[in-house]
Amino acid sequence: MQALPTLASPFWATVNTNWPVDADDPSWAHAGYQSVFWASPGVGAPSQFASLADYVAESQAYQAFFIRYTIDRWRRQKFNPVGGYIHFLFTDGWPAITWSVLDYYRLPKAGYQALAGASRPVYISLDVEPGFNVEGGFHWVYPVGGRLRGRLYLINDDYRLEGQVTVRWWIERRESRPFNWIRKWLAKRIRVTLPGAEEGAMLVRSIELSLTRAGDYTLWVEAAQGGQVLTANHIEFRVGAERRRAKPPRRAPGLLVNRVYQLGSLRHTEDGFTFLLRNPAMPVMLQNLSDLRVDDQPMAVSQMEFVYGGVTRRASTVTPQAPLDIPSGEQFTIVVRGHPLAPGTHEIEMTADFVGLGEISVKLKDKLV
């Protein structure tokens, strides 16, 4: 999960910050920003946010959530079968927009605190059952009247620690922060014996909480020994109706399209046209084509064919059950029938669905002479 450097970082003097920045901005692309993965399943394009500050905050929250969520899963599988984990990526080697948790100037993103907290020697894991919807890629939403169900696991990787610990959990309402100390004081709690470092994760308690009032909440859980908090964990969620946010098309960045499309390859045929594509990256599997348009005029996918290696295949036969393998370095011809083009500049749009990558919209522009 890529995340933007913190707003105070000197990094922002190296790229365009005139808002909203285009998703294909060359300075951002040079810094490593991969717009196709921000559009889906990420937090979205810059144009969906009111300011750079909002985009920074949402991207860092997104990355931090998945770092904590993933480590949470690994740690409660300690020795069954997990023996450890390696984090990618820790820091940047140049002023960049990447998966790092420390930017080039060693300023931390929110993911750094998430990584540190989830990697504490003593850790309490939250295994939450389904019952919520997800909006914006990572925000959990429960219906009013729903129930939050889950299990608490305690993990100890410190051979020096043993004895009794107090595990407690409580819900805070984020709109009423001044009163949250009362909720913490009234937290439910249980005393348990800390598992040994040579033991796996220990199931502490199953919990079930009624969610009767709309609002934004945080479920906190912590383990303490002798007045010292050894570990704390939390999940944020909202109770209420989902807020759907329309996403712009997930478009392949122009720099990538320029590497795939063979500029100047647009040619006449007897009843249509052809052009050339080349896969410059890893092998991919195409499982569907849709939304084919030429000069903003819709066309049927059945009018398109792939020609490669002496083989011709209709695009309409490409399905999830019968995908089209496109090896790295493969060049192939696209033939479109039943649509002759006049000389001049033309625009071709389509949506391609790749296994493991999802749907990506592509816009091509070339001149037919």
How confident is the model at residue 136, as a pLDDT? 82
Kindly state the tokens that stand for 125. 């894991």
At residue 215, does pLDDT exceed 60? Answer: yes
Q: Which candidate, 232, 221, 229, 205, places its Cα nearest to that of 168?
A: 221
At residue 75, does pLDDT exceed 80? Answer: yes
Choice between 29 and 358, residue whose per-residue pLDDT is larger: 29
What CATH class is the domain 120-245?
mainly beta
Q: What is the mean pLDDT of the chain?
A: 89
Domain residue ranges of the chain, discontinuous segments joined by +? 1-119, 120-245, 254-368
How confident is the model at residue 248, as a pLDDT? 56
- In this prediction, residue 137 has a pLDDT band, given cuts at 50, 70 and 90, of confident
What value does the mean pLDDT take over residues 70-96?
Answer: 95
Kindly state the tokens that stand for 194. 């800390």
Task: Using a pLDDT cut of 90, give the percent of the chain over it.
Answer: 56
Sign of the CA dihedral running 134, 138, 144, 146: positive
CA distances from 284 to 247, 262, 276, 281 (A): 25, 18, 17, 9
At residue 86, does pLDDT exceed 90? Answer: yes
How confident is the model at residue 143, as a pLDDT? 95
- Classify residue 3 by its DSSP letter: B
Question: Could you tell me the maximum CA-CA distance found in the chain, to the nearest angstrom?
Answer: 84
How confident is the model at residue 67, as a pLDDT? 96
Residue keyed to tokens 């999940």 = 235
How confident is the model at residue 73, as a pLDDT? 95
Q: Are 11 and 104 within 8 A, CB to CB?
A: yes
At residue 12, does pLDDT exceed 90? Answer: yes
What value does the mean pLDDT take over residues 318-323?
Answer: 90
DSSP string, 209-254: EEE-S-EEEEEEEEEEETTEEEEEEEEEEEES-----PPPP-BPPH
Residue 355's contacts (CB-CB under 8 Å, 6 or more residues apart) are: 284, 285, 287, 320, 323
- In this prediction, residue 206 has a pLDDT band, given cuts at 50, 70 and 90, of very high
Q: Are 314 and 334 within 8 A, CB to CB?
A: no
SS3 (DSSP) at 269: coil
What value does the mean pLDDT take over residues 175-189?
Answer: 70
How confident is the model at residue 144, as a pLDDT? 95
Q: Which candidate, 137, 121, 154, 131, places its Cα nearest to that of 61?
A: 137
What CATH class is the domain 254-368?
mainly beta
How confident is the model at residue 74, as a pLDDT? 95
What value does the mean pLDDT take over residues 174-184?
Answer: 67
pLDDT tens by residue, 259-315: 788 888 999 888 899 999 888 878 888 888 888 889 988 888 889 998 887 788 999
Instruction: Tell me the C-alpha distance between 78 and 76, whole Å.
Output: 5
How confident is the model at residue 311, as a pLDDT? 85
- Classify residue 43 by its DSSP letter: S
Sign of the CA dihedral running 223, 228, 231, 235: positive
Mean pLDDT lowest among 20-29, 56-65, 187-196, 238-247:
238-247
What value does the mean pLDDT take over residues 35-49?
Answer: 83
DSSP string, 146-165: EEEEEEEEEEE--TT--SEE
Instruction: Tell me the C-alpha distance between 198 and 182, whole Å.
Output: 37
How confident is the model at residue 123, as a pLDDT? 96
pLDDT tens by residue, 216-261: 999 999 999 998 999 999 999 999 987 766 555 567 777 677 778 8
Sign of the CA dihedral running 158, 154, 215, 213: negative
How confident is the model at residue 280, as a pLDDT? 82
How confident is the model at residue 180, as a pLDDT? 64
Instruction: Tell me the C-alpha distance between 308 and 103, whole Å.
Output: 43
